[in-house]
Structure 1
Amino acid sequence: MAGLSGNITLQQGPRSDQLGHMGGAQPEAENTLEEPVSETILRDLKRIAFKLKYVLIPRSAEQEKAKQLRDWDLWGPLLLCLFLALTLSISSSSGNSEQDTASLVFGIVFVVVWVGAAIVTINAQLLGGNVSFFQSVCLLGYCIFPMNVASLLVIILGFVPYIKIPIVLAGFAWSTLSSIGFMTQLVPESRKVLAEYPVILFYLFLGWFILVI
């Protein structure tokens, strides 16, 4: 029987730049199976804070900002959405005796954020945008952070006359500038206005909801 010889090569795992669909993939592979849960949580919190920096500084290095936000995750947007929903539900229940009011407000905010982000994302893709669904949802979710700050300030300073409108307008403008700067890079030049319009409506509705609550 003839001898068998040859080289056996192991197939390499998927490259880190192909793991965008998993969320939060880093350029270097990380072995996190044996690390403590506290370290995993701390690393994720640092990653969320790092991305929030690009939301707070809308005109910071656009290409670096785009690179970081393309490395999507949904933990940050989920936490920000929950915070906004909890803030507004607590605010609504403080001035209303109905027990179901807080639950209704919480549900409305939660649905509006995720469904609205999905609609804006689908619109950008239909316009020829070069972005994945979860990348866009991640971006829009992180950019509601100024609206979170605005809702918190409205609760704290709401007793001051005429203070709510300027605070909410500032949060709306900040959120819109942060997201539009990224979204307009993904669609053709001739369709930028069509991509910006739903984004403005998305944050405008959130701002209006903060005011009426």
Structure 2
Amino acid sequence: MDAPLSSERAVDCIGTLDEPVVDTIMRDLRSVGKKLYYVMLPRSRSEAGAGLKQWDLWGPLFLCLILSIILWANAPENQQEVVFGLVYVIVWLGAVVVTFNALLLGGKISFFQSVCVLGYCICPLVLAAFACLFLPSSIGSIVKFILMLIALHWATGASVGFMSELVAEDRKALAVYPVWLFYVAIAWLILLN
């Protein structure tokens, strides 16, 4: 016969099927907010790494959607659908390629955890793309380039900190270069728009 559940274990065993939808949505939004906090202000790698081990794809999906909408709104009318779809292809296919590269190099990470980290780390690029919407065209290109450099540095720095801890010391460059290339492709797409 099974031992009675402690109060802690009993709470963990209760499913979310009986939970109100509002509670579920609020819990997921708090989780997304916490992960964005870890990415935007990466103070403690161990705390952030522990927080990002509980992966989800809601945040990366919303960030990709926001970036797609920003670039769609700024694209010429005959290219809007292509731009919208291209953002999704670059973000998700790029994250998958970078993840497989880390796994092939012997990285100790789950597939979805890596996609989660890479997806959350596009947040600085999304913020920079949003800021570029409001720039006047006279100074827009220079300021846009500077904003993209800052956002690229921020996104790359946040994700490289997580990804470089996953592989052996002699393979770090092989794991970090595709991460940098992934964010450069996204930043270039934003700059071209």
TM-score, structure 2 as length reference: 0.91
Match of 1:86 in 2: 69
DSSP 3-state at the match of 2:165: coil
AA partner of residue 201 (structure 1): L
Corresponding residue for residue 67 of structure 1: 50
- Name structure 1 gaps, 5 residues minimum: 1-7, 17-26
Paired amino acid for 2:165:
Q
Q: CA offsets, 1:177-202, max 9 Å, x none?
A: 00000001110011111110000000
SS at match of 1:156: coil
**Are 1:122 and 2:122 an aligned pair?**
no
Matches of 1:102 and 1:158, distance apart in 2: 21
Q: Which residue matches 1:39? A: 23
Secondary structure class of the residue paired with 1:178: helix
Q: Is the 8 A contact 1:158 1:164 kept in 2?
A: no
Which is greater in Rg?
1
Where do 1:20-169 residues align within 5 Å? 28-29=12-13, 31-58=15-42, 60-92=43-75, 96-98=76-78, 101-161=79-139, 162-169=142-149
Residue 209 in 1 paired to residue 180 in 2?
no
User: Would you identify which runs of 4 or more consecutive aligned residues in structure 1 move more than 4 Å?
Assistant: 27-30
Say whether 1:195 aligns with 2:179: no
Calculate percent identity across the aligned residue pairs. Answer: 46
Please show how residues 176-187 of structure 1 align to structure 2 within 5 Å. Answer: 176-187=156-167
Question: 1:131 aligns to what SS in structure 2?
Answer: coil
Distance 1:198-1:46 versus aligned 2 partners, 3 A rule: same
Task: Give, as a single letter, the amino acid of the residue that structure 2 aligns with 1:74.
Answer: L
The residue identity in structure 2 corresponding to 1:47 is: S
Please report the RMSD computed on the Cα atoms of aligned residues, expressed in angstroms.
Answer: 1.8
1:210 match: secondary structure: helix
CA distance in 2, matches of 1:146, 1:34: 37
Query: Displacement of 1:31 after TM fit?
Result: 3.3
Q: Deviations over 1:99-141 (max 9, x none)?
A: xx11100100001100000000000011110001101000000
What is the alpha-carbon distance in structure 2 between the residues aligned to residue 160 and residue 174 of structure 1? 26
Structure with more helix by fraction? 2
